[in-house]
């Protein structure tokens, strides 16, 4: 079983839609949770960073962590064509350096 599972998509939505991206994980020791956005031929760009359970909002982006279910989500409101990219979830144990990534979900927002 992989440490982190993520639906690879692809996911296509119309402009303005609410997008929900999700990951599940198996290691209850994960404490730090991240979402990265990766445009084609670019490196991953940090979008959201949360510690332990709860919600965090930044503009059109909301990250949720449910540690009891080992489930994290990223919501994108009012999606734009510029949001078209691959979204990677990542997580890490406290005191560790190794980020564990999902395989990424490819999102296309259609104008």
Partner 1 sequence: SAVISQKPSRDICQRGTSLTIQCQVDSQVTMMFWYRQQPGQSLTLIATANQGSEATYESGFVIDKFPISRPNLTFSTLTVSNMSPEDSSIYLCSVHGSGEETQYFGPGTRLLVL
Rule CB under 8 A: is residue 85 a binding residue for partner 1? no
Q: What is the DSSP string of 30-50?
A: EEEEEEEEE-TTS--EEEEEE
Total of residues contacting partner 1 (CB under 8 A): 28
Rule CB under 8 A: is residue 111 a binding residue for partner 1? no
For the window 25-44, what string marks contact with partner 1 as x by the rule CB under 8 A? ------xx-x-x----xxxx
Residues contacting 40, CB < 8 A, separation 6+: 85
Smallest gap from Cβ 101 to partner 1, in A, equals 4
DSSP H/E element including 73: strand 71-76
Rule CB under 8 A: is residue 61 a binding residue for partner 1? no
Among 18, 29, 94, 110, binds partner 1 (CB under 8 A): 94
Handedness of CA 42, 32, 109, 11 (dihedral sign): positive
Q: Among residues 75, 45, 46, which one has the least CA distance to residue 60? A: 75
Q: Which residues bind partner 1 (CB under 8 A)?
A: 2, 4, 6, 8, 31-32, 34, 36, 41-46, 49, 51, 88, 90, 92, 94, 97-104
């Amino acid at each position: 079983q992989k440490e982190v599972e993520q639906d690879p998509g692809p996911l296509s939505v119309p402009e303005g839609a609410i997008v929900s991206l999700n990951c599940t994980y198996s290691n209850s020791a994960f404490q730090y949770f991240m979402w990265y956005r990766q445009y084609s031929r670019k490196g991953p760009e940090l979008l959201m960073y949360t510690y332990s359970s709860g919600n965090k909002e930044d503009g059109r982006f909301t990250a949720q962590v449910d540690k009891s279910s080992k489930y994290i989500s990223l919501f994108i409101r009012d999606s734009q064509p510029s949001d078209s990219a691959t979204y990677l979830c990542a997580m890490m144990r406290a005191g560790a350096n190794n980020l564990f990534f999902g395989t990424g979900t490819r999102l296309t927002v259609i104008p």
